[in-house]
Amino acid sequence: MRYSLLTALAAGILLAGQALAEVRVVGEVEYGVFTTQYQDFKPGERVLSRSAQPIERTEIIPAKLGTKFGMRYSLQGKVQDDVPLTLLYLTPGVVTPEGTRHDKFVVQQSMAVGAPLDVMAFEFTEPHEIVPGEWQFMVFQEDRKLLEQRFIVR
């Protein structure tokens, strides 16, 4: 009996700590195309940019090399070493040169406690990545969906 009571008490404390550590989105969510002055992109090339890179608000994404699109948002309640975020990219079917099809990409992202803004973005750096159709971006903490945004690439 004593063991069960201690186990239940410990579980309650752990669950209470997890509830306090849940993050949530606060403020405006920016979404669309990250703007750049650079125009002549080559396959495999990325242009480094600042975190304050402007975003042209749109759901329609140009299907061209060098296009970077996604979301920038602020999370409240981030705790160091907390459960990481899961960034889920649903695609219309990216097919690699080797013939492997990817209907989704999943990225685990540690909490960036000191960062005032977080970003989820995809950049077309290779011709095979440029797939017209609906792309859906979602941010989760465990099974809890924090954000969702749809884009149409054309």
Q: For residue 41, what pLDDT is reported?
A: 64
Smallest CA-to-CA distance from 113 within 72, 83, 79, 73 is with 79
Dump pLDDT digits (tens) for 31-49.
999 998 767 766 766 666 6
Flag residues of the chain having pLDDT under 70.
1-21, 38, 41-42, 44-51
Structural tokens at position 81: 């070493």
- Is residue 70 domain-resident? yes
Domain assignment present for 36: yes
**CATH assignment of the domain containing 74:** 2.60.40.2390
Instruction: For residue 88, count CB atoms less than 10 angstroms from its CB and return exposed for 0-12, middle for 13-18, buried for 19 or more.
Output: middle
Helix (H) or strand (E) holding 93: strand 85-95
In a domain, 102, yes or no: yes
Which pLDDT score, from 0 to 100, does residue 26 have? 97
In a domain, 9, yes or no: no
pLDDT score at 37: 72
User: Is 3 inside a domain boundary?
Assistant: no
Cα 123 to Cα 142: distance, rounded to the nearest angstrom: 25
Domain tally, the chain: 1
Give the model's pLDDT for residue 36: 83
Domain that holds residue 141: 23-153
Q: pTM for the whole thing?
A: 0.80
- Interval 66-76: pLDDT, tens: 999 999 999 99
The answer to whether position 86 is within a domain reads yes
